[in-house]
Structure 1
Amino acid sequence: MSTLNQQYGYEELREIVVDILIGKEQVDEPTQWDNLTQAVATVIARRAGHNGPQAYRQAWCPQQAELVRDIFWDLFRQGFITLGLNHSNPAWPFFRLSHYGQKALKHQSPFRFHDTKSFVQLVMREAPDLSREAQEYLEEAVATFYAGCLLSSCVMLGVAAEAEFLRLVDVASNGKHATKFAAVPKPLFIRQKIGKFQAALTPLANTLPKEVTEDLDTNFTMVQSVLRVSRNEAGHPTAAKPEREQVYVFLQLFVPFARQAMRLRQALA
């Protein structure tokens, strides 16, 4: 659960705005700019477990208001929003989703979450076989993220990624292609294991089902690298504190990574 004075970043606020616009949040449909800002503050207060006028006022601050303004005009420039409600109300401050926005926004950024429970549920929907160990680290990663402990969040997220990768290595080195992956568990360091795994997997890629290899570089290779680097950098004594939005993106990237790792385990077992 977040707090009323929690400062949300651009990406988090954008997803709140999108959820409001496509009807995922139970608020009055915003037809004017003021309606939208009130709806965003209402959602922030609700997600923090509070309701009522006082909670609404506490949930809103000038900095977040300006971010929502940026988000609104970004959505307008991207074609998701059109000015004017209808023929009788054709101008600002009235607005509505464009026909393009009505279709596109429902399919963009599917990995939305706002607390520990919703994030873990999101991961489990995409990777039902997620290990209990990884789940516990993910719970810590999200909890520390919302507590503002961003370095801790990166470390916990990296550990969760490592746990899922090592499960994959264990399955592959004992599965139907065991001889090809026999050397993967031997190195001491995770980076070397990743390199050996990729080298063993590449010759097999064309023999695996399409859903296993589709977007493999994006969902597995690159994401694993990003998470490993974020963990190592966060754990270094001289590491600069990461930006909140950067960590939020790392959390989202874990979802397709976990799904890809599960598909690979199933294919290589």
Structure 2
Amino acid sequence: MCRRFALIHKRNVVEEYFATADFEDFPARYNIAPTQPILLVTAGLAREPGSNLANRRSLLVRWGLIPGWAKNPKEMSLLINARAESANENAAFRAAMRHRRSLIPASGFYEWQRDGASKGQPYWVRPRHGGIIAFAGLMETWLEPGGSEIDTAAILTTAANGVISGIHDRMPVVIEPSHFDRWLDCLNSEPRDVADLLKPPDPEFFEAIPISDKVNRVTNTGPDLQHAVAAADVRSKPEVKDSTQLSLF
């Protein structure tokens, strides 16, 4: 499962990783929450002659997929995650799995180890050796009754492994750069052709760092959210919201 994540790498790092110069400038975001805008990468137009950049484009979308057939999203559950094992059979995600697969840039994500009925101990989960990653994403454009279009997305999840399995039973699917083209190529690759990509990464890929419960509040958006604490020392005080964070919806 993935309910919060972060993108704190600078624009040039993101552009180099995704081999595109299509990104607008953006601030570091330490606590990205559902319904907020997120950065998304899709297949684009044909590569220009002589360019070493891939044919990809970026855009901002709402985190929380709305199926194209939805009449009233307020009557639906918030679809921030899609189970990789069943997305191709799920009516909400089937069309996006076939026609609108995408990549979601991230520096890592947050997960909670539940303690009974409480939310439990939060962890900052990041690549053990640093660097940016790409979550497997699904995109859908929903047409409002008034005629406006809203681009939306969900993150695909799979069974957790390694250190994550001791915290939660689900984790985001991570797509490696060598598989970007195959994952994004919805013209030539059906869901069954990319099913092998929907698996957990190497068990040692991620590390999980215990952090304070500041991350529980979406208004807390500073870098101190990712500071390590003793697993039992999670209480915090409210923090002033960072006005530089993105807001579209």
TM over 0.5: no
Q: Indicate the structure with greater helix content.
A: 1
Asked which structure has the greater RCO (Cα within 8 Å, sep 6+), the reply is 2
Greater C-alpha radius of gyration: 1
TM-score (structure 2 length as normaliser) = 0.26
Q: Indicate the structure with greater strand content.
A: 2
